[in-house]
Chains A and B, each alone.
Chain A
Amino acid sequence: MKNLIAFAVGLIFGIGLLISGMTQPEKIFGFLDIFGRWDPSLVFVMGGALVVAVIGFYIAGKRGQSLLGDPLSLPDKTKTDPRLLAGAAIFGVGWGLAGVCPAPAIVNLGFLSAPAFIFAAAMLAGIAIYAVFSRATERS
């Protein structure tokens, strides 16, 4: 049941990303290019998503647990640290270079095009490098 819902969530998420334009690198560049001709469409993506997400988190918070009886698993860190700042900056540079963020990178694989595979493979390699890096820093 949990996995079936996760599949449905992924499907709705993916359809939303495709319809919104988030899977088009040109759309991302247009949004980030505030010094050129700016395409504000992504403000509408975020606005729409935030309105529904706020309601969703409010309802879940009131119930205190998931409908399938699991406790809510929410990030509990509140302090900002250098890792957060550096990570966000590194991600932002990559996002600005290719115009692709993690969820669209997966969705785009469905089109079976070479650039989509190259980007996704590099992204997975970046994640793997981090896994090795974090294990090394934990040990020291």
Chain B
Amino acid sequence: MKIDWLNFTPWPSLTGGLLIGLAVALFINFNGRVLGASGVIGGLIPPRADAPLRLSLIAGLLAAPLLLSFFNAARAPVFDKGTLTLVIAGLLVGFGTQLGSGCTSGHGICGIARLSPRSILATLIFMLAGIATVFVVRHILGAPVAS
């Protein structure tokens, strides 16, 4: 295994991770809820009684890049994939997270932090599926790499 030292960002990633953990800790302690993005969004389709709470959280997520832009600290995402790939990927992410009851935050962080066997297994599976997909795209199909 070769490490990509050039793009390795341990400190910003650790700092960001601590903030993500803080958000999880605040949500369970103040609101009594597990912070899972796909669950928060999924509960709006169709809307339930707690829609205002879910929309408030989503508003916070949307405000984050605006706040960081104000301090000139926000980096816009760079997408190197075409529209068709984005549409297929979006459909899979939307459908898969609902069928599997969670995503990177709900299973990968909250579930693992609670030592839930379901979440540990789910995280293992979506990571392996992601690794396999990137392997096929980059090393078998040989799609051009943006970097």
Contacts and interface: CB of A to CB of B under 8 A. Distances in A.
Interface of A: 2-30, 32-42, 44-57, 59-60, 63, 65-68, 70-75, 77-80, 83-111, 113, 115-116, 118-131, 133-134
Interface in B111-147: 111-114, 116-118, 121-123, 125-135, 137-139, 146-147
A104 B78 CA distance: 13
A124 to B, nearest CB: 6
Interface residues of B, number: 114
Contact of A95 (B18, B29, B130, B135): B130
Task: Give chain A's interface secondary structure class.
Answer: helix
Contacts, number: 499
B61 A14 contact: yes
Given A10-B63, A94-B93, A131 B46 contact: yes
B32 A65 contact: yes
Contacts of B14: 44-45, 47-48
Contacts of B95: 87, 90, 126-127, 129-130, 133
